[in-house]
Amino acid sequence: MKQKERVADINAMTPDQLSDELLSLKKEQFNLRFRKASGQLENTSRVREVRRDIARVKTVQGRKAEVKA
């Protein structure tokens, strides 16, 4: 998925959806780190993508919290 599409999807999410997305991304990040440590990870660029998606979700959560407050 392209970055701008991903950002638009994340911006359209509700706070509950953002929390769920963050949880699933963190689980995926853990699994990727585990596979990387055991030498089973083939797509190493996915680690970077997931890390950046986590940052995007946290940024949008912060912005929505600021607007709410």
CA distances 61 to 14, 41, 46, Å, are 9, 30, 22
What per-residue string of b and e applies to 24-62 under the rule 16 or more CB within 10 Å gives b?
ebeebbeebeebeeeeeeeeeeebebbeebbebbeebbe
Query: For the chain, what are the domain ranges?
Result: 3-68
pLDDT at residue number 3: 80
Please report, as a single letter, which amino acid is at residue 42.
Answer: E
- Asked if CATH classification 3.40.1190.20 holds for the domain at 3-68, the reply, yes or no, is no
pLDDT tens digit string along 18-32? 999 999 999 999 999
Amino acid at 69: A
| pLDDT tens, residue by residue, 42-65 | 999 999 999 999 999 999 999 998
